[in-house]
Amino acid sequence: MNYLWAFLIGGAICAVGQLFIDLTKLTPARILTGYVVAGVVLSAAGLYAPLAEFAGAGASVPLLGFGHLLAKGVRTAVAEKGAIGILTGGLTAASSGITASLVCGVVCSLVGKSHDQN
């Protein structure tokens, strides 16, 4: 049953993003940024943690989950280190994901061949 809920919740999050792309003039970059900010706002309001607990990877993997992770990292760092945690907490919490995406980008750039865009 956990897989079903993860699939349904994650699919619903992605479907909303696709509707934004299809029905508005927002660029995908703005929609993705909006998702991260929405994850931070929902986490600050205390609404995202119960959703992530219920849906598992269906809620924690999309960009809303990245925003939640940043907010949770900042909250923890501020409690431990004070005001400096505002600057360091989000990056500390998300460092493994950021590192993995950078390494994958470098590997893809070494393996792939760029073409003239004209």
Measured CA distances, 95 to 37, 60, 81 (Å): 18, 16, 18
pLDDT of residue 97: 86
Residue 113's contacts (CB-CB under 8 Å, 6 or more residues apart) are none
Structure tokens at 79: 């409690």
The pTM for the full model equals: 0.77
> Residue 37's pLDDT is what?
94
Q: How large a percentage of the chain has pLDDT more than 90?
A: 59
Q: What is the pLDDT of residue 29?
A: 92
Q: Say if residues 52 and 2 touch (Cβ distance below 8 Å).
A: no
pLDDT per residue as tens digits for the range 41-64: 999 999 998 998 998 888 888 788
Q: Report the pLDDT value the prediction gives residue 18, as an integer from 0 to 100.
A: 94
Tens-digit pLDDT profile for residues 26-43? 999 999 999 999 999 999
**Residue 32 near residue 66, CB atoms below 8 Å:** no
